[in-house]
A and B are shown apart, each in its own frame.
Chain A
Amino acid sequence: MPPTSPLLLGLELAGAGAHPASWRRADSRAEDLFTAGYWVDALRAAEDAGIDLAFLPDSFTLQTAGAIGRLDAVAIAARAAAVTGRIGLIPQASVTHTEPFHLSKAIASLDFATKGRAGWEVTVSAGEAALFGRKPEQDGRSRWQEADEAVEVVTRLWDSWEDDAEIRDQATGRFIDRDKLHYIDFTGAHFSVKGPSITPRPPQGQPPIAVRAADPHSVRLAVHRADLIRIAAPDLAKAAATRSELRAALAAAGRDPNRVRVLLDIDIHLAATVDAAAAEVAQLEDWLATPAPATVFHIGTPAELRDILREVENECAADGVVLRPLALPAALRHLPALAPTLRERLGLPRPANRYARA
C-alpha cells in the first residue's frame, strides 16, 4: 500500500547532535546548549527549511559522554511555541516517573500555546528509579505496560472536557455545562485517576502521539496507540517490510493503517561535497569512535539526500522520515537545500519545459 500523502519530514534535535563528539566542532555552539537562543534558532531554521515535525529527545539521566546536561524537552517546545508558526513540536516525555495527569495538561497546554502544533513522543525510563526514590526499578514489560495505562489516562483526560463545555450562560450563572465534563474514573495496575482534567480539550482534540517501535513491548503500544510510529532499519527494503508488518498489525488491532504514519530514522551528516561530509564524519569518529549506525544513514550532499527521500517514497519504505543530524548546527545550514517544493509535497513531478529541446 503506497503512502497516502506527501512524505513527512521530521528532524530530531539532540543537543549538539546525535554524535557524542559533535560539540567539539567549531560550529557547534556548545556554549549555548543551555540557552533559549540555541533551541529557538534551531527550531526556526528547521521550520524555515520546510521541516514538518521537530522531535525533542529527553531523559532524566546524565549522558556518559560528549556534551552532558539536558533541558526539559516540553519546556524547550513551550519556549519555542510563540516564535514558530508551522512546525509540529513533539517533545519526548517519559511516563515511568511523571504523573499522567501532569503530562496530559502539559501537552494540552503546548497545543494551546502553539495553536494546534503539539505532539507527544511517549517514552519510558530505564535506570532512573534512584533519581526519584519512589519505586523500584521496573523491567521492560512492566514499564511499557505502565506506559500503556498512562497513554490511556492522558488521552481520556484530553477528552474529559467536551469541546463546547464552556457555555458562559448568564441566565443561570453557569460558566460551564457540567454535563459536558466527564470523570475518567480510570483504575489500572499502576495508578488510578479520577479526572476530569483541569485543562479544557486542546485545539487538536487529541494531539498526535508518537512511539518509537523498538522492541515487542513498544511495538505493541505503537500499534494500539500511536499516530506516528518511529522505526529504525538497516536499509530501505527492511524498512518497507517493517512498515508492511506494522500496517498488518494495525489492521489486526482494528485500526485504519492509513491513519498512522510510519517514520523511518535516517542518521545524516550533510556537506557541500561527499568528500567534505566524509572527512567531517571521520573527524567526529577520530574524536570519539561510535558504533555503526543502527539505521539508514546518509553522509553526503543534500541533493543526494533528496534522492534518498524520493526512494523512500517510491519504495513505500515509510510515510515519512526523522532526520537525525550527527552534528545539528552543521545540518541546519544545509537543510534549505533539502526543502521540497510544493509540487514535490503534492507528489507531482517537475514537468519538462515544453520549449526545451529533448
Chain B
Amino acid sequence: MPEQRPRKQIHLAAHFPGVNHHTVWTDPASGSQIDFDSFVHLARTAERGLFDFFFLAEGLRLREHRDRIHDLDVVGRPDTFTVLNALVAVTTHLGLAGTINTTFNEPFELARQFASLDHLSGGRAAWNAVTSSDAFTGENFRRGGYLDHAKRYTRAHEVVDATRALWDNWPADTLVIDRERGVFARPVTPVHFSSEQFEIDGPFVLPRGPQGYPVQIQAGDSDEGREFAAAKADVIFSAHGELADGQRFYRDVKDRLARYGRDRDDLKILPAAGFVLGDTTAEAHERAHHIRRQQVTPQTAIAFLEQVWGRDLSAYDPDGPLPDIDPAEDVNITRGRVRHAKDPRAIADAWRAKAAAEHLSIRELIIATTARQQFVGTPREVAVEIDRYVQSDAADGFVLVPYLTPTGLDEFVDKVVPELQSLGSFRTAYTGPTLRHHLGLRHPHDSSPANDSTGQSRHGTEGVRAS
C-alpha cells in the first residue's frame, strides 16, 4: 500500500450497455435498450451518485455469427451525439462521453459535433476515439474498410490533431459583439491542416468550447493504442480490471507519459467493471452466480464455443462435455467486434484440461472463462475493494457496467457511494461545472490542474460560457 500520500479520489463513470451479452434482458426489471427514458434514468442515477461521466460505446454494424445476424446479443442502439445532447437537458453536471471512431468520420464534422456538445452542455463533452475499422463495418460507409491497423492509428492521430487545429481556430478574443460599432467578431483566419491523410482548408464555425478541447478518451490496447493514449488522451477506458493485471497496465501506460512531457496525473485509467451487491457476502455471491447463468444462456455458451472452434456446434449439449472434435482452421465465425482466438487449438486444449480438472460442462466452462472484472459483496465490501484497487494503483476509478438496463446502477448509488464517501475517497458534491474539473484535468490552454483552488475562476474566462 502507498505510504504518506493523500488518499486518491475515485473517478466513476456509468456505461449504458450497448450491444452486449451481459445485460440480463430476461429479468422482469429489464427495460428498454432504446427508449430515451432508459438513458434518462441511468444518466440521472449517475448524476445523483456524483459520477464523473456517462458513457456510450459504439458499434456501426450489427454482428454476424455463422453468416447471419447474431440474434442472441442485446442489440439496437441510438446515435451517440443525439442521445448525449438530449441528456444535457436532464442533467446539470454529469460529463457526457461518446465513443466515436476516427475511421468513418471526417475531422471537420467531428470537430463541430463535439464543439456543439461542449457548448450546449456548458463543458461536459468527452470523446472516446476508437479506430475500429474492419472492412465488415466499412461496408456501411462510403470510405469503405481499406485502412489496415497501422494506418488506422495514423489516421486517428491526424483526426485528433485536425480537430484540435479547428477548435483552436477562434482565439479567445474573436467574439467582440459590439452593437454600437457593428462588430460581431474579428475575422477568422482559415485553418490549413495538412497531413498524410488529410488536406483541410477553411475557417471553423464555432468559438472554442468551454473545455477548450472535450475530454479525450482512448480505448485500445495495442502498443500503438497505448502510445496514442500517452500522447493525447486524458482518460483510458481499459479492459484491465483485475488487480495485478491492472497494476501492470497502469504502470506501463503512466510510464509512457513523460516521453510526451506529461505528468502521471494527466491521464486517468478507468477499467470497465461490473458489480453485484447483497445484504450479506453469501447472498451477493449467490446473486452473482445466478446473474452469470442468465448472462451465459445455453445458446450463448454454444455461440462462444463456436467462436473458438470455428464450426457449427449446435448439436452439442450445453450441459454436457466439450466437443471432442478439433477446431477448424478458419475461426472467423463471428464478424463485428470480437477478439478472435489467435491459436484456437491451444485454447481448445486448455479449455478441455480445465473442464476435466474442474468437472465443468460447456456452459459452466464459458461462465468461468468469460468472467469480467466484477466486485461482489456487501456495499461496504465492494466500496473497500474498489478503494483498494484505486489506492494501490490498479486504476484511478472504474467505468461501471450494470447488468440491468436502466435501473442497474440504482443500488450502487444508493448503497456503495455513501460507503466510498465514508472512506474519504469519493466526492460529496460536484465542485466545478465541467468534466475536466471533475477529473482534475488541466484546461488545454492552461498549465495548472483544473481543480486546484483557483481553477474555477480561471476557466470562467475561457471561451464562451453556456448559461
Closest to B23 in A: A175
| A72 close to B112 (CB less than 8 A) | yes
Given A68-B188, A75-B113, CB of A82 within 8 Å of CB of B106: no
Given A130-B201, A176-B69, CB of A106 within 8 Å of CB of B81: yes
Q: How far is the CB of B254 from chain A (nearest CB, A)?
A: 35
| B86 close to A108 (CB less than 8 A) | no
Stretch with Cβ within 8 A of B (4 or more), from A27-35, A252-260, A291-299: A27-35
Which residue from B36, B120, B142 sits with its C-beta under 8 Å from A36? B120
B429 lies within 8 A of chain A by Cβ: no
| A34 close to B207 (CB less than 8 A) | yes
A287 to B180, CA, bound (A): 10
A341 lies within 8 A of chain B by Cβ: no
Interface members, chain B 147-203 (any A CB < 8 Å): 170, 177, 179, 182, 184-185, 188, 198-203
Q: A75-B113, A108-B78, A198-B61 are in contact. List 19 more A-B contacts (CB 8 A).
A: A35-B465, A35-B467, A39-B120, A60-B205, A62-B203, A75-B120, A82-B86, A82-B87, A101-B140, A102-B104, A108-B79, A109-B83, A112-B34, A130-B202, A172-B299, A191-B141, A196-B62, A198-B60, A199-B77
Stretch with Cβ within 8 A of B (4 or more), from A45-53, A131-139, A269-277, A300-308: A131-139
Interface size class of B (residues with CB under 8 A): 35 or more
| B79 close to A60 (CB less than 8 A) | no
A55 lies within 8 A of chain B by Cβ: no
A68 to B33, CA, bound (A): 39
| A97 close to B106 (CB less than 8 A) | yes
Interface membership of chain B positions 47-72, coded 1 if the CB is closer than 8 angstroms to chain A and 0 otherwise: 00000000000011110000011011
A285 lies within 8 A of chain B by Cβ: no
- Provide a sorted-by-A list of 6 A–B residue pairs whose CB atoms are within 8 angstroms: A35-B120, A61-B202, A99-B141, A102-B105, A110-B79, A115-B36
A128 to B85, CA, bound (A): 25
Interface size class of A (residues with CB under 8 A): 35 or more
Q: How far is the CB of A78 from chain B (nearest CB, A)?
A: 4
Closest to B193 in A: A133
Given A24-B179, A200-B34, CB of A75 within 8 Å of CB of B85: yes
A241 to B201, CA, bound (A): 43
A126 to B297, CA, bound (A): 53
Measured CB to CB, the residues of A under 8 A from B are: 21, 23-26, 30-32, 34-37, 39-40, 60-62, 66-72, 74-76, 78-83, 97-99, 101-102, 105-106, 108-110, 112-113, 115, 128, 130-134, 161, 166, 168, 170, 172-178, 181, 190-196, 198-200, 287-288
A99 to B138, CA, bound (A): 12
Q: How far is the CB of B306 from chain A (nearest CB, A)?
A: 14
Smallest CB-CB A-B distances: 6 pairs: A173-B299, A78-B85, A191-B142, A109-B78, A109-B82, A194-B139
Chain A residues whose CB sits within 8 angstroms of the CB of B69 once the complex forms: 176, 178, 181, 196
Chain A residues whose CB sits within 8 angstroms of the CB of B121 once the complex forms: 36
Q: How far is the CB of A3 from chain B (nearest CB, A)?
A: 32
B358 lies within 8 A of chain A by Cβ: no
| B86 close to A175 (CB less than 8 A) | no
| B140 close to A194 (CB less than 8 A) | yes
Q: How far is the CB of A225 from chain B (nearest CB, A)?
A: 20
